[in-house]
Amino acid sequence: MNAFEVISLLLMGALVWLWFDSLQAREAGVRGAQAACRREGVQLLDDTVAFRSLRLARNDHGHMALQRVYEFEYSGSGNDRYRGSVMLLGREITMLDITAHRRAALH
């Protein structure tokens, strides 16, 4: 094997790992959004989250990890739509925002 083949294999391996890791992180984001919607008594629309951003960030131990942000839509009455978001560092949820329906109720 020459250097080009080795580098190509390593790159393909890294892409497969990123894809697999992203699927698992997305599933964790969906579970977090579902749990938050249940707690708030609202409905998660489409039962899914949509990818918004990806970057490197440090975890609590100072190690580099992938930080992903996903958005989702939910409804309080079925006649409204609100946007929420969930942030994961690795596969751990670090922030979940599902307060738009509360802010709308104040106005």
Q: pLDDT band at residue 9, thresholds of 50, 70 and 90? A: very high
Residue 59 in contact with residue 89, Cβ under 8 Å? yes
Q: pLDDT band at residue 15, thresholds of 50, 70 and 90? A: very high
Q: What is the mean pLDDT of the segment spanning 10-31?
A: 95
Planar angle of CA 13, 72, 103, nearest 5 degrees: 145
Q: pLDDT band at residue 1, thresholds of 50, 70 and 90? A: confident
**Where do the domains of the chain lie?**
3-106
Question: Which residue in 45, 42, 33, 37 sits closest to 69, CA to CA?
Answer: 33
Q: pLDDT band at residue 106, thresholds of 50, 70 and 90? A: low
Residue 71 in contact with residue 84, Cβ under 8 Å? yes
Task: Convert the pLDDT of each residue in 50-67 to its tens digit.
Answer: 999 999 999 989 999 999
